[in-house]
Structure 1
Amino acid sequence: MRILIVGINYAPELTGIGKYTGEMAGWLVAAGHEVRIVTAPPYYPEWRVADGYAAWRYSREVQAGVSIWRCPIWVPARPSGLKRLLHLASFALSSLPVMACQLFWRADVILAIEPPLFCAPAAWACARLTGAKAWLHVQDFEVDAAFELGILRAPWLRSIVSKLESWLMRRFDRVSTISPNMVQRLIQKKLATEKAVLFTNWVDIDAIFPLNAQSAMRQQLDIASESTVALYSGNMGEKQGLEIVLESAASLVGEQGIQFVLCGDGAVRQRLQQKYAGLPNVLWLPLQPLERLNDLLNMANIHLLPQRSGAEDLVMPSKLTGMLASGCPVVATATKGTQIAEVLLDCGVVVEPDNVEHFSSAILQLARDATRRAVLGAHAREYALRNWAKERVMQEFDRQLKGL
């Protein structure tokens, strides 16, 4: 089968959507499909185009058997609401001529990855012109999130954009997303039930697994073996609401033996690092290479998953798969009944968003109870094995593709 993918993020990005799209494309090639992707140069989560790539030049390469067309993109150093829109629009426009060229390849399926929704019209049009099936995969509901989190504010604009989003989604042959609650949101947007598909993110359970001994990273970072490490690892953006982690660290400064570690990069890292520079119990790390990910995740005794209020069922954090696969409990912020709260029912502790006192208390209680951490961690690993094993998820996706 010939599969054309269009999306702004792709390998070698190490986190988020780019990581999953890269792994998906590589798996599909290994399964015998021909795969092409139209994408941008890697820039996420640093919001800076990676060394060896150019922001304003078209290029072509092959990775893991996938033919890759990279298109120009504008990457703002400090993304805001308007700048993000211009950023997404720059890729949507620059990718149009490349998408037009793909008409002659005549793909069987054209798969658009959202965000950005801006790419969906070109993917749908190309599919209709060539007789291909059109598939939209929603990693997060960017339109809803932009308004819920206050990135965009005008009510009249939300009404217009939401109606356009719903109309566009209904044009696709299939629309998938990454959690059951997000599938229900698709249906609420008037998508026919038979078109809505669950296609979860996954984890390589052979690459991410509990270690029998302490992670070597503890010694490398001079963290005492008896310390309890509370780790946040991933993108540092507005949606994450990382202030609650740092405020909790501030409230627990007097507690000996609790070490907070924040690892990653993103739009708000510099601001937060400057604001909370004086905290002695916080260690900041850069984004780690893939080969060190299992050591990083196993360095933690507690994983931290903050989310701003209103964002819980608009996104399903991609980092959660690795957290659970590492066999470590999670302290998260989420509203009761959301997908995150349901997943973590037996795998961690969930507190209401924006409540620093309860978040700090949950961390402290787990830090003092090694037995409970072990029980929750075992349940976490079991959940990942049962629901997110990469081979099982990808085989089901392949079956759905062939079913078109």
Structure 2
Amino acid sequence: MSDDAMRLPDVLDEPTDDQWEQYVSIAERSFGVPLPDAPLLRSNGLVRLAADAEGVIGGAIALPFTQYFGGRPLSSAGLSLVCVNPSARGDGVARMVVDSLVDHLRERGVALVALWTPSPGIYRRWGWEVAGGASAYTVPVTSLRTMPRRHSRVVADPDPGSVFALHAELAGHWDGALHRPGWWWGWKASAAAKERHHYGVANDDRLDGYVAYSTQPLPEWGQSMVVEDLWARDGGAFSALCTFLSKHSSFTPHIRFAPGVLPSPPELSLWLPQYDWHEHPWHPWMLRIIDIESALTTRGWPVGVRANISLRMVDGPMAGTELDLMIEDGKARLGHGSGRQVMLTERGAAAWFSGCWSASRLARAGLITTGDAHTLATMDSLVATRPWLPDRF
């Protein structure tokens, strides 16, 4: 085999416009959809492309953002548009560009990297683990009429500043939800600006909830409605939004809540009179911890729980790292590992940290190892918030 044949592709972090267009073309063929928002992602994300002598053969983008865990924001990023030209697949190109991005993110102080994928097995080999799921839900519009009524003022096109503030207030209640950067709102709004409608519900001039939805004509009669974003301060605001949506029944037989818009299982099911809603599972989101010390000390922890747990990472880049995790008053500090009471795999650490899997279940699956049942129970009590990532990227 010649030296040219054995030569590894180059990794590009500042591609030319021509190289970028080659990558976008590969991505559009790989995912089967046009990518009109690719320039926006390029300008707000970190790009890594792989190229050989004939041109670009693959690439990926990391979108910097903040994710909440335990009510506190952590520096994170979303891995997106990972793709490789079919002729170069199976040669480690994707791993090469992903590793380059992860290394750069770690150097910048990013603690976590999240992604959505229908192929979790690939990313498990690289240290990611499932942190949550997403489903779409289809509900007859008439069923929403039975929601408890609350008098609220419906607001068309609510003030964006009020919408941003409400989202920032509510997102912190969930593990995994984003504190959306400013450009993110523009990205999602521009994706379907002409077809998307925005409404809010308010009481005493305070925005308590908002919904964004799109409509399309049905072949024979009426229109379909897809809810793309919905946030409510409390059950009353959620009910008011559902009541508003139910008023479209003259033209819309069913409402579809897009994947991730509602946490799973949705609280909506508590109010429906019959089991006439349908769940459409989507693929999961995954998480990888790339800076374990920052992740553990930055996230919030339950205020009423005290803990002192010795952790030892057993695989991945952090293999051999030993830490004493000491938690009190909702905060954590770290000391040098004084024992090997809990053995954590890289995947096990991510799954436990996200709240998707309890330490006890991960121990049964072999991703956490300890002989101390009390320690597992303590770890279970430390991470009990239901994870939810309503944003797709």
Using CA pairs under 8 Å that are at least 6 residues apart, name the structure with larger relative contact order, 1 or 2: 2
The structure in which a higher percent of residues are strand is: 2
Tell me the TM-score normalised to structure 2 length: 0.31
**TM-score if structure 1 supplies the norm length?**
0.30
Greater CA radius of gyration, 1 or 2?
2
- In proportion to residue count, which structure has more helix? 1
